[in-house]
Amino acid sequence: MDIQEKIEILTEGAKYDVSCSSSGSSRRGSSNGIGSTASSGICHSWADDGRCISLLKILYSNYCIYDCIYCVNRASNDVRRAAFTPEELAKLTIEFYKRNYIEGLFLSSGVINTPDYTMECLIQTMKILREQYRFNGYIHMKAIPGADEKLIQLAGTYADRMSINIELPTEESLLKLAPQKKKEMITKPMTYISNQISEQRENRKKYKRTPSFVPAGQSTQLIIGATPDKDYQVLRLTEGLYKHFQLKRVYYSSYIPIVEHPSLPTTSGSSLVREHRLYQADWLLRFYGFDVDELFNNNYGQQLDLTLDPKCDWALRNIELFPVEVNKADYEMLLKVPGIGIKSARKIVTARRFGPISYEGLKQMGIVLKRAQYFITCQGKYYGSVSLDGHRIRNKLVGVYGNQQSSNITIGQSYQLSFF
């Protein structure tokens, strides 16, 4: 099989993993233009400083000994199979890099023979890239669940980021859709990576030349909608992952029915709106001081309200805390106001040291007043277009979609997707 064919098969097999962010798009090129978004596995990720980096997103191999029911590469699925050698994949990456197609590599694989054997192949690929080609670019590697800790340790010295995908939020779901994978196969290496990161951080304080270990941290991915797991379970798990494993990011991937099986939903069990609400809730947990219990409305059981972003929903359920006076409220309370983000809250706190802030001043600071107007006063005046009444404000915020049942919102009907 030639390299071109391997690239086609192994980039196709990698595209359902969102744990390095986007997977490009399907816009077709034209003969009189330049550039293409669809060709062979270039995806984009974001560095800590906000830079967008393009990655070659590819599998080492799509052979797999496991049979995870939701996965296109599962052992029992009839798909074309291919595998690189470490030399081939390292050479391909460096050639793409030299041609300026990519700035880094997102490397994953099905499990060939054993988890340890697969890890050795991935490590060998990275070793060639780092040592033979002296490649200093970004490498995000998917660790193989069940691999030996010594191999995880070695991989961590070559990779910038490692992820181990949990995929299914509960043990029950794992048992149903990926029975060969045990929870410990995922949590054990995650714990090991987390401990190594902490240890390395401590060592660095004492010894300048401490070798690096996954300097960009670890992340994971959860599939949403392949099982009946609720948003509450997903976010409880997320909260634990951030607290106990120091994860940099948890990615949520709305289930896409690419393979058929009686245990799988026949249509997308989820929606892009649900995925987006989970990302918004995740943001609130990490940066806005919310905890999971605060984000849930009893009317929706253990699901997030799809018609409103979770911060608005929380504010409306706690309307007695509002309006807050922007010239007096503390920073933590400002953060809880819909329409005021972290940067805006900081700007308000800084600006009011020099004098009272006017409503006009809030506009100039970039506060999203179409939401914030209902929850603040400015120099004692309330500017909301309706009185401070939870139902009326909800109708205003939900707007034209107010009478739409949240359960009817599916892919293609997305709306109100702005962040806070």
Give me the least distance between CB of 33 and ligand SF4, in Å please.
36
User: 67-86: which residues touch ligand SF4 (CB under 6 A)?
Assistant: 68, 71, 73-74
Q: Which stretch binds ligand SF4 (CB under 6 A): 65-73, 208-216, 287-295, 392-400?
A: 65-73
**Size of the residue set binding ligand SF4 (CB under 6 A):** 9
- Between residues 18 and 178, which has the closer beta carbon with respect to ligand SF4? 178
The answer to whether the beta carbons of residues 186 and 164 sit under 8 Å apart is yes
- Between residues 66 and 374, which has the closer beta carbon with respect to ligand SF4? 66
* 66 in contact with ligand SF4 (CB under 6 A): yes
Give me the least distance between CB of 302 and ligand SF4, in Å please.
26
C-alpha span between 325 and 377 (Å, rounded):
5
Beta-carbon contacts of 8 under 8 Å, excluding residues fewer than 6 positions away, are 40
Give me the least distance between CB of 73 and ligand SF4, in Å please.
4
C-alpha span between 392 and 398 (Å, rounded):
10
Give me the least distance between CB of 113 and ligand SF4, in Å please.
12
- Between residues 75 and 342, which has the closer beta carbon with respect to ligand SF4? 75
- Between residues 103 and 120, which has the closer beta carbon with respect to ligand SF4? 120
Quick note: the x/- pattern for ligand SF4 over 174-213, rule CB under 6 A, is ----x-----------------------------------
Helix, strand and coil content of the chain, in percent to the nearest 5, comes to 40, 10, 45
Give me the least distance between CB of 111 and ligand SF4, in Å please.
5
Starting from the edge strand earliest in sequence, which strands make up the sheet with 324-325, in order? 324-325, 376-378, 381-382
For residue 34, CA distances in Å to 11, 28, 69, 212, 246 come to 22, 11, 40, 39, 42
- Between residues 66 and 420, which has the closer beta carbon with respect to ligand SF4? 66
Which two tokens mark 83? 């595998």
* 173 in contact with ligand SF4 (CB under 6 A): no
Give me the least distance between CB of 13 and ligand SF4, in Å please.
8
C-alpha span between 389 and 134 (Å, rounded):
62
- Between residues 110 and 310, which has the closer beta carbon with respect to ligand SF4? 110
- How does DSSP assign 145-188, residue by residue? TT--HHHHHHHHHH-SEEE---BSSSHHHHHHH-TT--HHHHHH
* Cα radius of gyration rounded to whole Å, the chain: 24
Closest CA to 357 of 370, 343, 344: 344
Give me the least distance between CB of 87 and ligand SF4, in Å please.
23
C-alpha span between 190 and 218 (Å, rounded):
8
* 43 in contact with ligand SF4 (CB under 6 A): no
- Between residues 71 and 121, which has the closer beta carbon with respect to ligand SF4? 71
C-alpha span between 142 and 251 (Å, rounded):
14
Answer for which of 10, 64, 308, 367 binds ligand SF4 (CB under 6 A) is: 64
Give me the least distance between CB of 126 and ligand SF4, in Å please.
19
User: 89-148: which residues touch ligand SF4 (CB under 6 A)?
Assistant: 110-111
Q: CA 6, 11, 17, 21 torsion: positive or negative?
A: positive
C-alpha span between 243 and 241 (Å, rounded):
5
Binding site for ligand SF4 (CB under 6 A): 64, 66, 68, 71, 73-74, 110-111, 178
